[in-house]
Structure 1
Amino acid sequence: MQERLQKVLASAGIGSRRECENVILAGRVTVDGERVTALGATVDAGKSVIYCDGMPIRPEAKIYYLLNKPKDCLCTNYDELNRLRAIDIIKNVKQRLYTIGRLDKQSEGLIIITNDGELSNKLSHPKYEVNKTYFIEIDGYLSNETITALQSGVWLAFGKHKPVRIKKMHRSFKKSRFEMILCEGKNREIRRMLADHGHKVRTLRRIKIGSLCDPDLKVGKYRKLTEQEIKSLYSMTEKKPIEKKSGKQRYDTVTASKKK
């Protein structure tokens, strides 16, 4: 069966499909002795002889971990300063692992680590709008005006951010704590949204990915995902992408009616 080369590489644990596209473009892959440097090539994984960086590509068993990422830990596979990476925390694994999505260096919380490039590609694709829930603590009082703005969608340097949901608020003039649910994954988006409204983020912790959560998993610890959890993750990518609608807001909003 013919498949796109980047999909075969991702299935073999080389990286996410997008990362594998970059590997191909860099000229690091050969198929039946011929170097491939352009996207669009298809191969039969069962018959073609495929090498990446001089090493043969072989299908490998898929593994899935849930990590409660600590602060000062990077969600990347390459760091020239040799700092601690999320994948370094997972011990005694031969497969090449990578994170699905990212949490910035100062953030902590749940992140999936796997060698399943196909699942990574699907869960990271914005069309499926997989919700992520975060616990956030900020300096200052989270005003009703800010809540309304965030839940309506705010403009940042990269464009208008999609609306978010805010719940479980505890507000005071010195600091506010709340949960935020969003479905995008742009770089430092939460910090940038709140900074735009004058708030410095003190704590940012991802506590849920879709329906996947584990309040008992300690910071810096990890565990294997259960078969049911893996099936649940795949089911998120099998749903029909949410259609864009004009008019009514698609997100439930918190009623910002508390008096200061």
Structure 2
Amino acid sequence: MRSEAGPDEAVEDDRERMRLQKFLATAGVDSRRNCEEYIRTGRVTVDSQPVLDPASLVDPESQDIRLDGERLRMPRYKYFLLNKPKGVLCTSRDPQGRPRAIDLVPSQGRRLFTVGRLDESTEGLLLITNDGDLAERLAHPRFEVVRRYRCHVAGVPTNDTLKQLREGMYFSDGFFRFRGVRVLKRKGRSVMLELELREGKNREIRRLLAKVGHKVITLERIAFGPLRIGYLSPGKFRELRPAEIGQLKQELEQMEKQRVVDSNRRPLRRPKADPAESTPDQGETSKSDARPSPRKPASSVGRPGGKGAAQKRGGPKKPAPAINKGRDRRRNK
């Protein structure tokens, strides 16, 4: 007779399993959202049986999990730091066949993702990995991973302009602002700025600077979280060191904990006093027991006295004057 697993064994078994959509994203299939769609449309099978619930728990080590008939396995993760040159796209597909950032690093059959995007004319630090789950978390706005840029702009911004960039401005698709902005050096009629963002919106830097009258000449990302571009030449890449991967994950964990702490710091409203409990202390007089003070008579200084004054204050009001008396006389005739 088969013995039932105890509670401790059941907990240990759950730890070895993971949600199906997370496994697909971890295996480098696609983003977690797209993986959920693959599951709901019946493209995924577990032990030859279609599974339509993305939250189903699976054990990738012992179960046969397939997408469109192709078996998926837990991959060996790769993390590349690329200095993206100008003219290269951060996309997985381009019908026009233009150069892509993921083509500049060795894929070895892995499905690679760029963490966030840099537009075609922006260069600098770009993280590329087959760890879909980590890539999605790093790019998500809720984690507010710091992004730093070196930006060469035409013109010399005033202190008021720099303050305006820090305070932010509204656009049709949201509110944009720099978390940090400082002047690095001046070059004639232009300056080099260092900018800090906490989320990457579409062409946010160029649009903010254009709104205050400064055109971007060059734009380069120099840092992403704990990662630095260093002396890496454009078009070159290197693999992340284990310590750097650990720093990335640790930063995400700290941001998640901080979000929980901030959500628990909601201002508490002061409760209303209960009349039954608000009894006066000994030796004090409550408002209900206190004898009301006699009302002072109204001062008569500056007020007219006599009978006429009494009529004005309390007497009958004079009738309103008749309107259009001439019309009434003609009617009486």
TM over 0.5: yes
5+ residue gaps, structure 2: 1-13, 267-333
5+ residue gaps, structure 1: 247-260
Q: 1 CA distance for matches of 2:155 and 2:38?
A: 45
TM-score (norm 1): 0.85
Residues 1:51 and 2:66 aligned together: yes
Q: Which runs of structure 2 are paired with 1:136-151 in the superposition (5 Å)?
A: 136-151=151-166
Calculate the aligned-residue CA RMSD, in Å. Answer: 2.4
Name the structure where helix makes up a greater proportion of residues.
2
What is the letter of the counterpart of residue 45 of structure 2? T
Name the structure where strand makes up a greater proportion of residues.
1
Alignment correspondent of 1:241: 258
Q: 2 CA distance for matches of 1:141 and 1:27?
A: 58
Q: Pick from 147, 155, 159 the counterpart of residue 174 of structure 2.
A: 159
Alignment correspondent of 1:219: 234
My pick for the range that moved more, 221-230 or 235-244, is 235-244
Q: 1 CA distance for matches of 2:182 and 2:23?
A: 41
Q: CA deviation at 1:143?
A: 2.4
Sequence identity of aligned pairs in percent? 43
Higher relative contact order at CA 8 Å, sep ≥6: structure 1 or structure 2? 1
Structure 1 residues 57 and 66: alpha-carbon distance in aligned structure 2, compared to 1, 3 A threshold: same
What is the letter of the counterpart of residue 103 of structure 2? D
How many pairs are equivalent?
246
Alignment correspondent of 1:66: 81
Q: Deviations over 1:48-97 (max 9, x none)?
A: 33222331111111111100001111111111111111110013623221
Q: Which runs of structure 2 are paired with 1:111-190 in the superposition (5 Å)?
A: 111-171=126-186, 174-190=189-205
Q: 2 CA distance for matches of 1:136 and 1:52?
A: 44
My pick for the range that moved more, 121-130 or 31-40, is 31-40
Structure whose CA Rg is larger: 2
Q: 2 CA distance for matches of 1:70 and 1:23?
A: 34
Q: 1 CA distance for matches of 2:93 and 2:161?
A: 37
TM-score (norm 2): 0.67
Q: 2 CA distance for matches of 1:180 and 1:23?
A: 39
Structure 1 residues 28 and 175: alpha-carbon distance in aligned structure 2, compared to 1, 3 A threshold: farther
What is the letter of the counterpart of residue 142 of structure 1? P
